[in-house]
Structures are given as structure tokens and as C-alpha cells.
Amino acid sequence: MLEDSVRPVQFRDIWFNGYHHLRGETIEAFGAVQGERLTSAILRNHLPWNRAFGGKSIECRGIRPVAKTLAGGLKLTLLSPNRKKLESLVPVWEKSCREAGLIPGVKARRAEAARGLESFGHIDIDKLAALPFQEDHSEPNGTSIALLAEYRNKRLLLAADAHPDLLEESLSLLARHGPGKLRLDAMKISHHASSHNTSPKLLSLISCPRFLVSTNGSIYHHPDQVAMARLICLGGAEKEIIFNYRTDETALWDNPKWKRKYGYHTHYPHMRKDGNVVVSL
């Protein structure tokens, strides 16, 4: 979209950490594959870039999350990444450049296709939820920009692909200034509901009646069964789980017996006659 010189929408600001932001330097001439394309599109079209941060990197600084209020009153509080997460991506970014042939003299190498998962078997939700948590250590995911969006007394947590340790730290800091758990109206589950990103500790820090799962299940067959079991068992007494696709992986949780036992409701999109996709709540 940004590479198209004629766009149906314009942006007052684009929040994105490029290669030079990772290193805390001025703009370099290369980046990782998608990052390079995005960087080039922004520069070529003279688009506003991290304007809210003075053009510098978007990162958590100090002991309190950074908050920015946009025109119109939408308040965005930055929960991730921090300097450590950004710098961890530098060697991975440079390796991706070499493999993609973005560095002169280096031939591109095809990436291996991701392996699929086995078909569904018997599912014990309580046992899945009780499995030890194994945290995401992917450097690219750690640099994800995660935000708490607040508008007219409504709160939405946009967890991106952020690492749970930093999300837990940021949410703990916010919760200290309120009564107990941080109250949310909705949470977009991190990393398409991967089992490595939504930890039991993270769920213990929030009070949230509505969880959004964004994935079509392609390649990695998300949402992960362990992540969903954890959400169902630890996400509160009554909750809604809203999917933006109905697939084999998401339809699995539309189980009346489980809904009654664990106190949750599911919502799926449907196609209207005018071609628009809607989710009824």
C-alpha cells in the first residue's frame, strides 16, 4: 500500500522501527526484507515517520511506559519494545539481508517452508492450560510495538507479537497506579494466539471480558490449542472470544459443552449480501 503513489488514505504519522532505529543511528541504506521495502516506501514518498517521537525509535524508556495523545483524544501508551529488544534484532536483521541478497555480492537464499501441524485429537483443556509456559524468544517479535489504546473511558490492549516478559513489566507498572488488576474492555491476543506469547502471569494482571483473536490459521495453524486453553481457563469467569475468521482451528472452540463448563462465548464473522464481513456481538 505504501509503495503505491496513489493511495485512498493518507497518514499523519507512521510508527515503525527501521534498521537505524535498532542501532540508534541515522538512516542506513539497507534493512531486512520487509523492513527494507517499508523503509524505502516511506522515504521515497516523503511520508511522516515516527513523528510523535521526533523521528527517533519507538521504545519504552525509563520506569514508566511512554504515553502519546493524538489529535481527537485517543491516548496510546507504549508497552513494547525497549532498547534491549531492539538491539537484539540487529544481527537477525543483518542475516536476513544477506539471505535475501540485499547486501551487494551476496546471493539470495530461499527460506524453508514452515511445517504444518498434526490434525486435532482428544483435547483436555485443563491439562493444556496447566502446561509449563515456554516464552517466545524470537528477536523480531520482541521488537513489536504493543499499545494500550484509551478513548472515552474505553481501553483496548493491542499486544502485537510482543514478548510476554516486557508486556508483564509494563502492565504491572500501569496496574500499580490503579485498584488491583488493569481493567480492559478488550485485548487483541498477541501473535495470533501463539502459546509462547500469552502467559498465565500476563492474564493475571488484567481484568478483561473480551478477547480478539486475529488469524486465518495459514502456515502455523494458529490459534494454538495451549494458548486457547490458557485463555479459557485463566481469562476470567465470563468472557467473549471474537475471531476474525472461521477456520478448522477457530471453529474447534465453538463447543457448547466447553462454553457452559468454562463460561465463555464465541463470535465469528459472516458475509453480508453487500459483500461486507461483520462480526455480530
- What is the domain partition of the chain in residue ranges? 59-84+121-279
Kindly write down the DSSP assignment for every residue of 209-255, as one continuous string.
SEEEE----TTT-PSPHHHHHHHHHHS-SSEEEEES---HHHHTT--
Of 231, 223, 211, the C-alpha closest to 249 is: 223
For the chain (length 281 residues), average pLDDT per consecutive 10? 85 92 73 78 91 94 88 96 94 81 50 41 90 94 96 97 95 78 96 94 96 91 95 95 95 96 95 70 66
CA–CA dist 85, 167 (Å, integer): 12
SS (H, E, C) 18-61: CHHHHHCCCCCCCCCHHHHHHHHHHHHCCCCECHHHCCCCCCEC
This model's pTM is above 0.75: yes
What is the predicted pLDDT for the residue at 105?
45
Which residues partner with 149 through β-bridges? 76, 156
Q: What are phi and psi of 25, to 5 degrees?
A: -120, 180
Q: Which of 239, 250, 191 is nearest to 216 (CA)?
A: 250
Query: How far is 34 from 136, CA to CA, in rounded Å?
Result: 21
> Distance between CA 209 and CA 188 in Å, rounded?
12
Beta bridge partner(s), residue 241: 211, 266
Spatial CA neighbour of 123 closest among 49, 260, 230: 230
